[in-house]
C-alpha cells in the first residue's frame, strides 16, 4: 500500500514560497507516495513545471473564512475524499488547515492532519490557537528547531522536525503503514502441538489443509501456532494459506506438552486462545463462534465432544478456550511435569479454578470432533504411565491447600528453547470497524476495570 497524501493549497493568498515548498514535498516523496495537490480551478498555470496530473482542481473562490467554506463546500469535499481517499492532509497555510479541521469535525472522516510551518510565525497564546494549532492537529511539521524556538508566544506542541533526505518518505509511511507485520486484526489463536516419531506428519498436514478451505474472512482473523515438541523425525514443512507460525523445540523431551503449550501461548497474537491437540478438529461454525467471542476474561470454556451426529460426549480434559493474559498471570503449565506422562492438564486447570477462573461449556451447538482419520499410534509410540507424575501432583495439591495462593506451581516455564521454522501471514485489506466510543470510555475502565 502506498500512502495517499493531499497537499491543500486552496488559500487565495498563497505565496510563491508556499508553492515552492509544496513542490519540494512532491519531489522528495512523490516516488513512494501518491501525492495530489488541491488547488482552486484554473490556477495550475501558477505552479510552473509541476505535472498537471498531480493537481485536483476544486471549483469556486475561497474566502478568508474557513468555517463557512467548510459548511458551503461540504459535499464537494466529500466527493473529493471518495475519489481520492487520502491518508494524510498536509497543509502549509492557516486557511487550509482550519478548512479541513472544520470539515473533519463535521464529516467524521478519518485522516491525519499535518501542518507545515516553513518559517517562524507570531501566534498569540489564545484558547482558539491552543485548540486548533496544538490539539486538533496530529503534527506541526517544522524544517528545524530554530523555527520551533522562534514561533511565539504560543509554544507549539505535537511537533516533528524534518530530518531532510528521505525522512519525509519515512514520515508518511510511518503514519500510514506499520513498519512490521501488524497482527491486531487477529481475534483467536489456535494452538496445537505434536511429537512425531513414526513415519510421517500426515495427521497434522491433513488437519491444516482442511482448515485452509474455510471461509477466507474467518481465516483472516485466526492465527495458528504449531509447536513441534522435538520430534526425532525431520520433514519439509509445506506452505499454507493461513496466518501461521510453526515452531520447533530443539530438545527431545518425552511428554513435553507443558513446554509446548507454554511456547505456543507466548507466540499467540490474540488474547483469546484455543489450546487443543491434533487428534481433535473444529468445524468452521465452531471456529467462527470462538473468533466472534468477546474477551474470555476469567472464563475458561470447555467443549463437548461430538463423536457421532447425535452422540454428545463429555468434554475433553485438555481443550481450553481462554484468555492468554489469564494463562500467563497464573504461570501457565507447570513444566515440572515434563518428561513423564500425566497430570499436567488437570493441575493446570485446578490452579486456574483455585485462582477464581470460571468454568463454562461452550454453546453445545458448536461441536468439537474427535478425529476418525487418525489412528492410535499413527504419530507417536510413547507409553502412558502415571506413576512418576502422580506423587508430584499430590505434593502440589498439598502445597496449595497448606501454603495458599502463591504455591502449588514450580514456576518452571519455557525451560526449552525453540526456533521458528515457518511463518506466513495472509494479506488483509479490510479496514477494521470504527469504534470511537472505546477511547472515550477510558475513565470508566479505570474505575471499574475492562472485563
Fold category of 4-176 in CATH: Rossmann fold (3.40.50)
CA distance 335 to 396: 13
Cell matching residue 410: 514450580
On whether the CB atoms of residues 10 and 38 are closer than 8 A, the answer is: yes
Residue-level pLDDT at 380: 54
Query: Which residues, 6 or more positions from 389, have their beta carbon under 8 angstroms from its beta carbon?
Result: 337, 340, 341, 342, 343, 344
C-alpha distances in angstroms, 77 versus 26, 59, 86, 97?
A: 22, 11, 12, 14
The percent of the chain in helix, strand and coil, each rounded to the nearest 5, is 35, 20, 45
Q: What is the DSSP string of 312-343?
A: EEPPPTT-EEEEHHHHHHTT-S-GGGTTS-SS
* Among 62, 29, 36, 64, CA closest to 51: 36
Residue-level pLDDT at 309: 47
Residue 302 CB-density burial (10 A; 0-12 exposed, 13-18 middle, 19+ buried) = buried
Could you tell me the residue ranges of all domains in the chain? Answer: 4-176, 188-424
- Name the CATH architecture for the domain at 188-424: Alpha-Beta Complex (3.90)
CA distance 384 to 372: 21
pLDDT in tens, the chain (451 residues): 789 999 999 888 888 999 999 999 999 998 899 999 999 888 888 898 899 999 999 876 666 677 787 788 888 899 999 999 999 999 999 899 999 999 999 998 999 999 999 988 899 999 999 999 999 999 999 999 999 999 989 999 989 999 988 999 999 999 988 766 789 999 999 999 998 876 678 889 999 999 999 999 999 999 999 999 888 888 899 999 999 999 999 887 888 889 999 999 999 999 999 999 998 999 999 999 999 999 999 999 999 887 544 555 566 778 999 999 999 999 999 998 888 888 888 899 999 999 999 999 999 889 898 888 776 555 555 667 777 888 888 898 888 888 988 998 988 888 878 899 999 999 887 777 888 888 888 888 888 877 6
Residue-level pLDDT at 168: 93
CA distance 147 to 164: 15
Residue entry with cell 475492562: 450
Q: Where are the alpha helices (DSSP H) in 338-412?
A: 344-354, 390-403
Amino acid at each position: 500500500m502506498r500512502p495517499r497524501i493531499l497537499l491543500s493549497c486552496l488559500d487565495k493568498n498563497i505565496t510563491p514560497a508556499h508553492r515552492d515548498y509544496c513542490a519540494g514535498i512532491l519531489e522528495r516523496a512523490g516516488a513512494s507516495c501518491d501525492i495530489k495537490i488541491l488547488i482552486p480551478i484554473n490556477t495550475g498555470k501558477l505552479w510552473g513545471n509541476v505535472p498537471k496530473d498531480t493537481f485536483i482542481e476544486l471549483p469556486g473562490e475561497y474566502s478568508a473564512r474557513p468555517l463557512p467554506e467548510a459548511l458551503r463546500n461540504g459535499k464537494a469535499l466529500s466527493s473529493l475524499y471518495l475519489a481520492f481517499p487520502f491518508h494524510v492532509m498536509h497543509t502549509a497555510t492557516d486557511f487550509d488547515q482550519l478548512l479541513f479541521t472544520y470539515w473533519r469535525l463535521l464529516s467524521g472522516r478519518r485522516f491525519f492532519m499535518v501542518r507545515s510551518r516553513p518559517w517562524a510565525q507570531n501566534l498569540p497564546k489564545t484558547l482558539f490557537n491552543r485548540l486548533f494549532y496544538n490539539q486538533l492537529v496530529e503534527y506541526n511539521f517544522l524544517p528545524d528547531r530554530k523555527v520551533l524556538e522562534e514561533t511565539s508566544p504560543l509554544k507549539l506542541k505535537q511537533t516533528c522536525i524534518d530530518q531532510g533526505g528521505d525522512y519525509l518518505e519515512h514520515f508518511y509511511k510511518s503514519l500510514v503503514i506499520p513498519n512490521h507485520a501488524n497482527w491486531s486484526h487477529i481475534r483467536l489463536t489456535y494452538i496445537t502441538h505434536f511429537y512425531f516419531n513414526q513415519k510421517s506428519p500426515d495427521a497434522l498436514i491433513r488437519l491444516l489443509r482442511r482448515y485452509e478451505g474455510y471461509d477466507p474472512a474467518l481465516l483472516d482473523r485466526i492465527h495458528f501456532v504449531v509447536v513441534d515438541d522435538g520430534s526425532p523425525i525431520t520433514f519439509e514443512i509445506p506452505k499454507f494459506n493461513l496466518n501461521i507460525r510453526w515452531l520447533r523445540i530443539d530438545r527431545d523431551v518425552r511428554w513435553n506438552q507443558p513446554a509446548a503449550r507454554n511456547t505456543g501461548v507466548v507466540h499467540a497474537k490474540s488474547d483469546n486462545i484455543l489450546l487443543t491437540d491434533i487428534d481433535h478438529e473444529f468445524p468452521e461454525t465452531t471456529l467462527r463462534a470462538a473468533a466472534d467471542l468477546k474477551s474470555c476474561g476469567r472464563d475458561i470454556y470447555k467443549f463437548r465432544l461430538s463423536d457421532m451426529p447425535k452422540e454428545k460426549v463429555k468434554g475433553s480434559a485438555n481443550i481450553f478456550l481462554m484468555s492468554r493474559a489469564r494463562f500467563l498471570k497464573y504461570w501457565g503449565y507447570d513444566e515440572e511435569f515434563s518428561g513423564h506422562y500425566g497430570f499436567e492438564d488437570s493441575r493446570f486447570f485446578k490452579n486456574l479454578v483455585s485462582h477464581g477462573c470460571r468454568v463454562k461449556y461452550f454453546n453445545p451447538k458448536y461441536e468439537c470432533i474427535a478425529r476418525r482419520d487418525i489412528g492410535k499410534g499413527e504419530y507417536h509410540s510413547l507409553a502412558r504411565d502415571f506413576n512418576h507424575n502422580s506423587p508430584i501432583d499430590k505434593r502440589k495439591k498439598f502445597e496449595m491447600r497448606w501454603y495458599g495462593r502463591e504455591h502449588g506451581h514450580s514456576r518452571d516455564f519455557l525451560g526449552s528453547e525453540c526456533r521458528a521454522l515457518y511463518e506466513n501471514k495472509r494479506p488483509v485489506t479490510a479496514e477494521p470497524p470504527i469504534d470511537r466510543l472505546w477511547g472515550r470510555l477510558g475513565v470508566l475502565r479505570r474505575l471499574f476495570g475492562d472485563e
